[in-house]
Amino acid sequence: MSVTSRRRFAAIALASVAVLATGTACGNDSESGDGPITLVVDVFGDQGFGYEELYKQYESEHPNIKIQERGKGLGLGDYNTRLTQQITAGAGAGDVVALEEGTIVQFYAQADKFVNLADHGANDLKGNFLSWKWEQGVTPDGKVLGLGTDIGSMAICYRSDLFKAAKLPFDREQVGALWPTWDEFIATGQKFAAADKKNKFVDSATNFYNVVLMQTAGSGSGYTYFDKSNQLVVGSNPDVRSAFDLTTKMISAGLSNNLKSFSNEWNTGFKNGTFAAIGCPAWMTGVIKGQAGDAFAGKWDVAKAPGTGGNWGGAFLGVPKSSKHPKEAAELAKFLTSAKSQAEAFKKVGNLPSSPQALSDPAVAEATNDYFSNAPVGKIFAAGASDLKPVYLGPKNQAVRDAVENALRSVEQGKAADAAWQDAVKNGEAAGK
Amino acid sequence: MSSLETTAPPSVDPSRSRRAARRTPSGFPWLTRLDLRVTPYLFVLPFFVLFAIFGVYPIIYTVWIALTDRSPLNATISFVGLDNFVELLTNDPQFWNAVWNTFGMFVMSTVPQLLIALMLANALNRRIRGQMFFRLAIAMPIITSTAVVALIFSMLYAREFGLANWLLDLVGIDPIDWRANRYASWFAISTMVDWRWVGYNALIYLAAMQSISRDMYEAAALDGASRHRQFWSITIPQLRPTIIFTLIISTIGGLQLFTEPLMFTSGSGALSGGSEGQFQTITMYLLDVMNARFRWGYAGAVALVLFLLIASVSFVNYLLARRISSDK
């Protein structure tokens, strides 16, 4: 190799270094001018949010906008981890992002990284949302962080064929009448267990626990692991303890199928049909249909839940400041959370609207679900929605909840309930530190 | 060699070498000297630039963040000195549980892994039928993705409908809940690790064995040494540097064990590694602290302590492996 060619190589080496250096420095090129704008919508969950038709409608009404959705099939935990990093880094998040009920509080602290939707006329829409839902989307100092999509009022989804085989009532009215309280729910489960040795009564301790907790806390303290000033109260909140105790009672009655919620085994449990009932916030109907599949169409039904009220889950749509098109993104978020859009999403994936107008829309209120034996899901879920009492969830809610759920799973695996409660408090306090 | 061309030995023909010097396009000898001095650095520069961005900077940042209470939940970042380290070392049973799990699984997977690899390599080093096939076959697991391996093994070790429990059932043993029992979970995860890495280590040992001179074995055979004796007195001592290498690589990999135990459970809270942290490793705990509890500063402290653990265990392994051969 001659000196010249060596020098040329040196130049190439230098150039490649320069390219690398600049390559890492710049991110996405911003689109400018009047060309079409692409808005990215980030959602989570196996079923997504059911917005496909709405995107098409919006694109046809706004020819300069293209919509791209990410995240369908992504679990909430992974989704939230990624979103937290993107928001903190100030890059990479979508133009419109879904914020789940349990995690939106975490983003109150980073409200300056989100567009205040009040600047885009969101305050005029206040009447389009249930008041408690609206308030959850607003930070303590009054910034509108997110607009509500759906809520999760409770019912029990059950397998009418298994109930029938176990000589239990299987008509949804009669089934609902079986369990005015959770204790009677467990008693029904014991009857089922006596008649059916093959299948279990409920899917898991964790699902049962969360349904009971959100209901107990809704009618009780109004919060779970953190009180409204974000003090950790996992060991002292009587609502947590009573939900925990009720769950361990259910486990010791042998009613749990021991399938960890949202795990592969849980999904398989739906497909194999190995349990007869599951605590059923409105969005769960979409999960069941997606996981159990056509083989179980018409075998599932929906009945009233024990107790009263209670909300579990639901989400909001927000616009991160990193969006290149905050105005257009805010408009899209407003469109997707409008009463009409919420009714459409309800039809697609069963997410119960958070808008009173949508809830009273006949398309929702009189809706039946053919997968669930034509159950009047609109009536069952929407009935209690307007007088639901919301539950406050602290910023580290998910971490503490994982610790308590782990303790309950250790009971399923044979640990004594008292020792598990000690674990739940100890690990919950470590997780919430 | 190119460098010899330009500085050709003058003894042959002095005029040619002068012509050669004049042939450089610049005609400035100092530029040539500068070129010779600087160019090698330019060649290695891309690596160091990348290393600085992806290696040095994160390490320095980790040290800094470990001294703060940084969290996405805090509007401000405040300096907390060594508080994170003090809490980690004195008041964090979950961390020490993770350390115990990590070392337990490290020993449970690495010891059989290296022994089996050694035996496999020794077997493949002989003349056997289908030698090429077997040598290729043991290397196959390396090309499969860790996530896929973990997923398949998770199914094999499923509580219900799992192959492992079905086999146990055939010999009359009650099914095991592989995720509930600490040692059962360690065993299951160790088999995943070993399935993937035995072949890799065997291949390295095999390569090293083939560079051992045949003469030594012949001489030993003439002296009446058995195959067994030859293995322990020639093969093992000759493999010493290779064994040290595989030990250190396995230590680094073993103490950073992550994907296999993470994929062993699915759904939310998989980072907690079992209902009671039965198989939560240090790296899983690190991510748990960072992504679920949002304590980024504390996670930085966990990362640094993990780094020190790996460095010290590698050093101990090195000291132990040095004693393998008695003749040095």
Nearest CA in chain B to A404: B275
CB neighbours of A304 closer than 8 A, spacing ≥ 6?
A: A155, A156, A176, A380
**Interchain pair A403, B272: CB under 8 A:** yes
Of A46, A59, A131, A79, nearest in space to A336 by CA: A59
Nearest CA in chain B to A401: B269
- Residue in this structure with the two tokens 């699902």, named with its chain if needed: A207
Determine the Cα–Cα distance for residues A295 and B5; give it in Å rounded to an integer.
Answer: 78
Furthest C-alpha separation in chain B: 91
Residue A203, token pair as written in the block: 């899917």
Report chain B residues whose CB lies below 8 A from the CB of A402.
268-269, 272, 292
pLDDT tens digits for B108-136?
Answer: 999 999 999 999 999 998 888 888 888 88
Report whether pLDDT(A27) > 60. no
Residue A345, token pair as written in the block: 């999403």
Is the dihedral angle over the CA atoms A164, A170, A174, A176 positive or is it negative? positive
Q: What percent of chain A has pLDDT over 90?
A: 74
* Domain assignments of chain B as residue spans, ordered by start: 2-66, 94-322
Report chain B residues whose CB lies below 8 A from the CB of A413.
177, 180, 275
Nearest CA in chain B to A399: B292
Report chain B residues whose CB lies below 8 A from the CB of A265.
158-160, 266
ipTM of the complex, rounded to two decimals: 0.81
Determine the Cα–Cα distance for residues A348 and A377; give it in Å rounded to an integer.
Answer: 13
Distance from CA of B257 to the nearest CA of A (A): 20
- A91, A321 contact by CB (below 8 A): no
Report whether pLDDT(A245) > 80. yes
Furthest C-alpha separation in chain A: 93
Confidence grade of residue B318 (pLDDT, cut at 50, 70, 90) = confident
**Interchain pair A3, B6: CB under 8 A:** yes
* Domain assignments of chain A as residue spans, ordered by start: 37-151+314-365, 154-311+380-431
**pTM for the whole structure:** 0.83
Mean of pLDDT over chain B: 87
Report chain A residues whose CB lies below 8 A from the CB of B161.
268
Report whether pLDDT(B138) > 60. yes
Confidence grade of residue B144 (pLDDT, cut at 50, 70, 90) = confident
Distance from CA of B129 to the nearest CA of A (A): 43
Nearest CA in chain A to B292: A399
| Number of A–B residue contacts, CB under 8 Å | 125
Mean of pLDDT over chain A: 89
Assigned CATH class of A154-311+380-431 = alpha beta
Residue A295, token pair as written in the block: 């083989």
DSSP for A43-102, please give it.
--STTTTS-HHHHHHHHHH-TTEEEEEE-TT--HHHHHHHHHHHHHHT-S--SEEEEEHH
Long-range CB contacts (within 8 A, 24+) of B2-7: B2/A1, B2/A2, B2/A6, B3/B36, B5/A2, B6/A2, B6/A3, B6/B32
- A413, B275 contact by CB (below 8 A): yes
- A355, A128 contact by CB (below 8 A): yes
Helices B182-210 and B240-255: crossing angle in degrees, nearest 10, is: 150
Report whether pLDDT(B107) > 50. yes
Q: How much is the pLDDT for B30?
A: 86
Residue A212 has phi, psi (to 5 degrees) of -65, -45
Confidence grade of residue B269 (pLDDT, cut at 50, 70, 90) = confident
Q: How much is the pLDDT for B23?
A: 52
**Residue range A181-195: mean pLDDT, rounded:** 96
Q: How much is the pLDDT for B126?
A: 83
The CATH classification of domain A37-151+314-365, taken from the options 1.20.120.330, 3.30.200.20, 3.40.190.10, 3.40.50.1820: 3.40.190.10
Report chain B residues whose CB lies below 8 A from the CB of A405.
269
**Interchain pair B53, A17: CB under 8 A:** no
**CATH fold label, B94-322:** MetI-like fold (1.10.3720)
**Interchain pair A265, B24: CB under 8 A:** no
Q: How much is the pLDDT for A29?
A: 41
- Residue in this structure with the two tokens 């209901």, named with its chain if needed: A215
Determine the Cα–Cα distance for residues A38 and B248; give it in Å rounded to an integer.
Answer: 49
Of B179, B131, B127, nearest in space to B158 by CA: B179
Report chain B residues whose CB lies below 8 A from the CB of A407.
275
Distance from CA of A432 to the nearest CA of B (A): 7
**Interchain pair B2, A265: CB under 8 A:** no
pLDDT tens digits for A285-306?
Answer: 999 999 999 999 999 999 999 9
Residue A6: how many other CB atoms lie within 10 Å = 18
Parallel/antiparallel/unpaired status of strands A200-202 and A150-151 = unpaired
